[in-house]
Structure 1
């Protein structure tokens, strides 16, 4: 007698993938798929808090999920595996802010923002006003993600979700639509394929939104049901908001922000340093496909869960690589700064950046934002570096700018 498992050689395949494969001997492709679905149903877990009349969200803790959850437990919640600069209170803020900026930019790019990464980073660091809607969207994302960090300890509610949506859509969505759910009298928003306009997802009716949001909050806050792994809960929350699509626009950005809220609330503090959207934006088709596979296979979240855990794994690899790169820059700068013991860690970091970005312009605001310090502290740092001859000070109107000189290496060697 043939036994059919829930996966094929460790891969959790969707029907769209199964139908193009060779089925086991003695089975048609349809029989093979039916056997897979029955095996999955036997081990599937239901997301708690949903009324019985709704089609439930389910997931399976198959081997790929368990393996990646274990890896994320080590990387995202533990301190032993974290790079030293992230553990060091004197430098951790700079890396956290970089993660916030990267997530703000990439999450906006997923939704169509076209601003360059360099221009967006410059806008946030300099504190200047956005020039267009794309930059406004990115600035909104940055503010919203910082808000998420502030309310991580609070229970999820209408107040938090609607405030978050209002922040994310400020200046990019008609005011009457910002910060409110769709109403039964509104034309219901559907999800379409941007390439050809094909409808790929029809959300639940707007009349159900209030009840569905209350159920989502109970799930997010862990009010009902047995144990759910915190990252399963965070990814499930991401999926739930995107699936219900309660807003006119900004659903994806809100859903990704709620993932961070849930992960930080559960103690996965290192997620503050990574950008999931930067990984997603490099392969948006995979992101959309994982969602569609889950939605079309009776809301089996396992597809989306596996994809998001893979995204997290790649995001952590990226941040570790970024930290190593920055450490090499700082070490190189420190070798040249040994004769200047009065230079602090923020100034060393800026010189490390200046060595790589000749001609870059720094301001009191950009330095304060990058290091999470007051404007007065930033002012003292930059004026001291200019006095040492390591930055060139210039005035643009009322604003003082400090330029990384082309001969910075030579100047350091002369000190």
Structure 2
């Protein structure tokens, strides 16, 4: 439910062409009107509030903009219920944002060792999975706080209500996507993904993982005032539409090159547009977006939570859908908005990682002044800071520093006594583990 109103329907290009006289058409074409105004890909509902070029009405100005957009539009295999194709375009803002994402999300340049180091990578993946699970559920009405939700997931306790169940299901769904990221997306896997997302949250449990059927009332997206914002295609079309979605998601269509990030965004749009399930369509669509990104090699997508950004302005997210539906099925609005969201999410990840690395470096600096520790212990603590959960034994420490077993044992036992290592037993042998909160423990020395 949302308070958003439907944007004013954009005048159709072919109707404008018929109403504008030939002299005015020549004038419009002489203006060399671009697809964007002041760098923005504006919808008619926004453009009508701007001042048009001298000598042109708003409708004539819109025709000039649409003319430039139509000439660069690419058809998609996604169609509306009447068989009319959706399109996407590549204006300058799209090219610029895709380039930024390519720089930051597919290669390893300037990426923190915290996410490239195998010993810490999984910790950050799990943290990101939790963040996306929580915020994606909050977009759909879950009210559980982030703190409580993370405690539930980490402790493994059962969810206490529907809100917590939604979040836990989303966490399992994101883990499912990660597990199957190299596989082809199929209707069966999408239905399984939806079953995970909606497990024990639906009024009819049998609806989990099942497409809506022609004999049931079709779901609609409505505002909080009861206005219908979106009516999805008839249920009779859903099986074939999902097959087409999978062909598109797997890169089998269209034949021309489509940038993988744009493909992932349109996969997100497509499933949400079709709304094939009785509930959980948004959460399933966002999980599919991640699947598509990971499948095409954007490994950093594992570490970003797009829904965290979306929850900051849910009306903008909804409006991006509506703009595409109310301007001749032009998905460029949705593409542009989501490219911006991805960039924001990546920037937030980089800021977070810089903060964490700065913390580690500051603590390493503090350690140099700790005269109670010898050089070997300082080296071990430096390693432990960068590798939470790392395991050390008397033998591993001995061989690393070429000392006797007794010296090695004394080093480790002192660190344990100062609560900087935790001791564990495996059979008759004991080992030492770097605690997750080691930075805090060192700060409190």
Residue 343 (structure 2) aligns with: 313
TM-score by length of 1: 0.83
8 Å CA contact 2:120, 2:388 repeated in 1: no
For 1:185, which of 203, 211, 215 is the aligned residue? 215
d(CA) in 2 for partners of 1:410, 1:91: 21
Query: Of 24, 39, 53, which residue of structure 2 is paired with 1:10?
Result: 39
Is the counterpart of residue 131 in structure 1 residue 160 in structure 2? yes
Mark the runs of 5 or more structure 1 residues left unpaired by the alignment. Answer: 352-382, 394-401
Partners of 1:390 and 1:404 within 8 A in 2: no
Q: Is 1:44 aligned with 2:73? A: yes
Structure 2 distance, partners of 1:170, 1:386, is 44
Alpha-carbon distance between aligned partners in 2 of 1:20 and 1:156, rounded to the nearest angstrom: 43
Q: TM-score, normalised by structure 2?
A: 0.78
* Deviation (angstroms), 1:209: 0.5
* CA shift digits 1:195-242 (9 cap, x unpaired): 322111110111110111111111111113211110110000000000
Q: How far did 1:7 drift?
A: 1.7
CA contact (8 A) 1:390 1:411 kept: no
Q: CA deviation at 1:134?
A: 1.2
Cα contact 2:149–2:164 (8 A) shared by 1: yes
Distance in 2, Cα, partners of 1:96 & 1:239: 25
Q: Which residue of structure 2 aligns with residue 255 of structure 1?
A: 285
Partner deviation per Cα, 1:169-211 (whole Å, 9 max, x = no partner): 1121131111111000110000112x32211111011111011
- Equivalent-residue separation in structure 2 for 1:289 and 1:189 (angstroms): 19
Deviates more, 1:80-89 or 1:251-260: 80-89
Query: 2:123, 2:289 → 1: CA distance?
Result: 22
- Say if 1:294 and 1:301, in contact at 8 Å, map to a contact too: yes
Tell me, what secondary structure is at the counterpart of 1:47? strand
**1:217–1:385 distance in 2 versus 1, CA, 3 Å:** farther
Residue of structure 1 in register with 2:329 after alignment: 299
1:235, 1:408 → 2: CA distance?
A: 43
Structure with higher Rg: it is 2
Distance 1:113 1:52, change over 3 A: closer
1:392–1:403 Cα contact (<8 Å) kept: no
| CA deviation after TM superposition for structure 1 residue 390, in Å | 4.9
**Is residue 286 of structure 2 the alignment partner of residue 272 of structure 1?**
no
Please list the CA deviations of residues 32-62 of structure 1 after superposition, one character each: whole Å capped at 9, or x if unmatched: 1122222211110011376996121101100
Shift of 1:10: 1.7
**Native 8 Å contact 1:389 1:411 kept in 2:** no
> How big is each residue's C-alpha offset from its partner over 1:261-291, in whole Å with a ceiling of 9 and x where there is no partner?
0000000111110000000001111101111
Matches within 5 A, 1:334-373: 334-335=364-365, 339=373, 340=377, 341-342=379-380
Partner of residue 403, structure 2: none
Specify whether residues 15 and 180 from structure 1 end up closer, same or farther in structure 2 by C-alpha distance, changes over 3 A only: same
CA RMSD in angstroms, aligned pairs only: 2.6
1:146 is the counterpart of 2:146: no
Task: Give yes or no for the alignment of 1:242 onto 2:272.
Answer: yes
2:106 to 59, 71, 77: 77
Farther off after superposition, 280-289 or 321-330? 321-330
How do 1:99-248 and structure 2 match up within 5 A?
A: 99-173=128-202, 174-193=204-223, 195-224=224-253, 225-248=255-278
Q: Secondary structure at 1:57's aligned position in 2? A: strand
* Structure 2 residues not aligned, in runs of 5+: 1-26, 390-412, 424-434
